[in-house]
Amino acid sequence: MTYFPEEVVEHIFSFLPAQRDRNTVSLVCKVWYEIERLSRRRVFVGNCYAVRAGSVARRFPNVRALTVKGKPHFADFNLVPPDWGGYAAPWIEAAARGCPGLEELRMKRMVVTDESLELLARSFPRFRALVLISCEGFSTDGLAAIASHCKLLRELDLQENEVEDRGPRWLSCFPDSCTSLVSLNFACIKGEVNAGSLERLVSRSPNLRSLRLNRSVSVDTLAKILMRTPNLEDLGTGNLTDDFQTESYFKLTSALEKCKMLRSLSGFWDASPVCLSVIYPLCVQLTGLNLSYAPTLDASDLIKMISRCVKLQRLWVLDCISDKGLQVVASSCKDLQELRVFPSDFYVAGFSAVTEEGLVAVSLGCPKLNSLLYFCHQMTNAALVIVAKNCPNFTRFRLCILEPGKPDVVTNQPLDEGFGAIVRECKGLQRLSISGLLTDKVFMYIGKYAKQLEMLSIAFAGDSDKGMMHVMNGCKNLRKLEIRDSPFGDAALLGNFARYETMRSLWMSSCNVTLKGCQVLASKMPMLNVEVINERDGSSEMEENNEELPKVEKLYVYRTTAGARDDAPNFMVGRIREEAGRGVATVVSSSSVSSAGSGKATLVCLPYLGAIWPGIIIHHPLYFAF
């Protein structure tokens, strides 16, 4: 192939959109590496600390679409301290310097500031899509900057972010010349928006296909908007609380009649059951429905609506739907592929209206089901076995029994056999979350059968190190492993440490791992960052015999070419007894912290949230040719 001109090779590469394939071809030779990197248009960075932002920007100067993910998944559940990291600024700055052609930026679980949004808005003349998921750190002022300066903006999609509200002005910042919007989602914005500005914006956006409003938008405004968007495919309503009989509802009904392309509905904030009847005529054409933010709807309301949704493929509901409602889902929604049942009440010892029976019913009635997230208070092995037989196509199976360690409610046995059936039957399973009473046996099944598994979430499960080792040894495709409150210690952590290089990350919290185990791991695997987070006061134990090193509260291990993080919170220096061997633990002074490339492991202590016992990051600064 070396005698082909570069343009030809580049053209051949254009048929390889998948990042994995492009990474592979770039390893063949220097020429291919160069051609590939200059023609790469989409870059996905699954862990923002796995690689330096500057390196990415330098390698791929012509990137058009960049995706970066920050905090580990368990940050969603407040397990990661707020100042841990995941900052977007280095990425936006590096892209601003090196990738002027950037058009799309997607970020998940990152800390984004208004300054960064301002820089983003001004740096990329062709910028057209911003997607922020579960991010924080910015306000509506940052959105105002995006609206004002991104002249070609097509997509502004804000999903479940924590956004500081500084008033409704941001929406009015879209200039009159902005007519390119295709997708606008501001459901997570808490404050009011100017109805007139919104209506005008929608009126001049003929390509608008997806619109998700926030709670403040009234029925009246919604009706007016929908009159202008007959081609809308995805709608997130505002609040639906007004008096049913008023003019607005009549207008809404006639506007909705025109929306023949509408396929997906969400929102339903504060929805009163009576308002739902306005939606009934649409149900027959819906493929996606999210009612999970409508606790005001009870089972009978939900049943009346869902029984009409015969083409539904994706359904998100609260457990108010009850087993009876799930039976209706099973008999009405034969095309269902994804089901999520969220808890309406977070009290772990309470009761929910959904049980294993509802899940069995859905598995019987919806053979295409491949993705499940199910919160409930009880489960049985028998039910899981039936579900596994009925739905062998699961790729995502997440079951959360609210009470930790709860056994099969009928037999009082662990749920090992049930989950065993799932992994045995569902040969394409990529993501699994397990719960309830579980012994090492379930991990033996997972290691043995879940060969395609990429992500595994474990909570309050297992008996011994063997459990985790089954997984580490058996699941050849595992990329992300997250564990909390399970009895896995150093032996499990170190049992197959070479595997961590093939994984994106490992999270362990409230397990039995000790500091020593972390030190050993860091010394054996220079290409990992081993981050230890201890938030409690245990300083007196630190001086004791190091054999009895205290347990590590939270551990986050990930492969990286970036070496030590330079944005870890609040450096402090500590003194650890030196160990013989490959320089695992050394006394550090603050100056040596910044000396990367010394080849020695440095033990760096940092406090989180003012705790006296310092957390420890064990780094191996390392230079890696990219």
Partner 1 sequence: MSTSSADSSPPVSGLDYDDTALTLALPGSSTTDASDRKRAGAASHADKPPSPKARAVGWPPVRAYRRNALREDAAAAEAKRLVKVAVDGAPYLRKVDLAAHGGYAPLLRALHAMFASCLAVHRAGEGSEGTAAMRLVDSVNGAEYVPTYEDKDGDWMLVGDVPWKMFVESCKRIRLMKSSEAVNLSPRRSFK
Going by C-alpha positions, the residue among 301, 264, 303 that lies closest to residue 282 is 264
Return the number of the residue (344 or 393) whose C-beta is nearest partner 1.
344
Distances (CA, A) of 24 to 13, 21, 44: 11, 5, 15
Q: Which of 39, 439, 586, 592 binds partner 1 (CB under 8 A)?
A: 439
Tokens 């650890």 sit on residue: 576
**Residue 41: count of CB within 10 angstroms of its CB:** 16
In the bound complex, what is the minimum distance in angstroms from residue 149's beta carbon to partner 1?
28
Give me the least distance between CB of 93 and partner 1, in Å please: 27
CB of 303 to partner 1, least distance (A): 10
Select the residue interacting with partner 1 from 172, 430, 512, 523 (CB under 8 A).
512
Residue placing its CB nearer to partner 1 in the complex, 511 or 601: 511
Minimum separation from the CB atom of position 23 to partner 1 (A) = 31
Q: List the one residue from 32, 170, 174, 293 that touches partner 1 (CB under 8 A).
A: 293
For partner 1, the closer CB: 354 or 564: 354
Q: For residue 372, what are the β-bridge partners?
A: 339, 397
Query: Which of 171, 289, 299, 530 forms a contact with partner 1 (CB under 8 A)?
Result: 299
Burial class (CB in 10 A: 0-12, 13-18, 19+), 524: middle
Q: For the chain, what's the residue count?
A: 626
Instruction: Give the shortest CB-443-to-partner 1 separation in angstroms.
Output: 14
The residue (of 224 and 484) whose beta carbon lies closer to partner 1 is: 484
- The per-residue DSSP string of 203-244 comes to HT-TT--EEE--TT--HHHHHHHHHH-TT--EEE--B--S-T
User: What is the Cα–Cα distance from 471 to 463, expressed in whole angstroms?
Assistant: 14
Q: Which sign does the torsion angle of CA 473, 477, 481, 486 carry?
A: negative
Can you give 339-353 as a three-state secondary structure string? Answer: EEEECCCCCCCCCCC
Part in contact with partner 1 (CB under 8 A); list of ranges 71-79, 110-118, 253-261, 283-291: 71-79
Residue 137 is a binding residue for partner 1 (CB under 8 A): no
Q: Six-digit token pair at 392? A: 């062998």
CA 612 centroid distance within chain: 32
Angle 595-590-544 from CA coordinates, rounded to 5°: 115
- Give the strand pairing for 554-559 and 528-533: antiparallel
The C-alpha angle with vertex 508 and arms to 585 and 85, in degrees rounded to 5, equals 75
Near partner 1 in 233-292, by CB under 8 A: 241-247, 269-270, 272, 274, 292
Q: Which part of the chain contacts partner 1 (CB under 8 A), choosing from 33-41, 250-258, 320-328, 570-578?
A: 320-328
Is residue 534 close enough to count as binding partner 1 by CB under 8 A? Answer: no
Nearer to partner 1, 349 or 580 (CB): 349
* Residue with smaller CB distance to partner 1, 136 or 233: 136
Nearer to partner 1, 246 or 540 (CB): 246
The stretch near partner 1 (CB under 8 A) out of 140-148, 220-228, 327-335, 402-410 is 402-410
Q: Which residues contact 7 (CB under 8 A, 6 or more apart)?
A: none
Please identify, among the stretches 87-95, 98-106, 433-441, 557-565, the one whose residues bind partner 1 according to the rule CB under 8 A.
433-441
Tell me the closest approach of the beta carbon of residue 491 to partner 1, in angstroms.
13
* Helix residue spans in 114-156 (DSSP H): 114-123, 140-149
Size of site (CB under 8 A) for partner 1:
78
Distance CA 26, CA 30 (A): 8
Query: Which residue, 2 or 245, has its beta carbon nearer to partner 1?
Result: 245
Judge whether 26 and 37 are in contact, CB under 8 Å. yes
- Residues 445-484, one symbol each (x = binds partner 1 by CB under 8 A, - = not), give ------------x-xx-xxx-------------------x
Query: Among residues 323, 416, 425, 531, which is the contact residue for partner 1, using CB under 8 A?
Result: 323
**400 vs 421, which CB is nearer to partner 1?**
400
Site string for partner 1, 483-502 (x = CB under 8 A): -xxxx---------------
83 binds partner 1 (CB under 8 A): no
Amino acid letter, residue 609? L
Is the Cβ–Cβ distance between 207 and 180 less than 8 Å?
yes
Q: Tell me if 59 contacts partner 1 by CB under 8 A.
A: no
Q: Is 74 in the site for partner 1 (CB under 8 A)?
A: yes
In a 3-state reduction of DSSP, which class is residue 267?
coil
> Which is closer to partner 1, CB of 115 or CB of 270?
270
Q: Which residue, 205 or 486, is less far from partner 1 as judged by CB?
A: 486
Q: Which is nearer to partner 1, 349 or 498 (CB)?
A: 349
Of the pair 82, 196, the CB lying nearest partner 1 is at 82
Q: Among 160, 165, 541, 578, which residue sits at the site for partner 1 (rule: CB under 8 A)?
A: 160
- By rule CB under 8 A, what string of x and - marks binding of each residue 176-215 to partner 1? ------------x---------------------------
Residues 6+ apart with CB under 8 A from 73: 109, 457, 480, 482, 507
Judged by CB under 8 A, which stretch of 93-101, 418-426, 432-440, 606-614 contacts partner 1?
432-440
**Footprint of partner 1 on 115-134 (CB under 8 A):** 134
Q: What is the maximum span of the chain, computed from C-alpha positions, in angstroms?
A: 81
CB of 266 within 8 A of CB of 290? yes
Q: How far is the CB of 300 from partner 1 (least distance, A)?
A: 7
User: By C-beta, is 26 or 352 nearer to partner 1?
Assistant: 352
Q: How far apart are the first and last CA of the chain?
A: 23
Phi, psi dihedral angles at 583 (to 5 degrees): 60, 50
Pair type for strands 314-318 and 288-290: parallel
Which residues within the stretch 344-363 sit at the binding site for partner 1 (CB under 8 A)? 344-353, 355, 357
User: With binding defined as CB under 8 A, does residue 409 bind partner 1?
Assistant: yes
* b/e sequence 548-579, b meaning 16+ C-beta within 10 Å: ebebbbbbbbbbbebbbbeebbebebbebeeb
Closer residue to partner 1, CB minimum distance, 3 or 346: 346
Specify the residue for token string 């780094």: 619
In the complex, what is the shortest distance from the CB of residue 597 to partner 1, in angstroms, rounded to a whole number?
37
Q: Identify any residues that bridge with 69 across adjacent strands, giving them in sequence order.
A: 108
Does 377 bind partner 1 (CB under 8 A)? Our answer is yes
Measured CA to CA, the distance from residue 356 to residue 248 in angstroms comes to 41
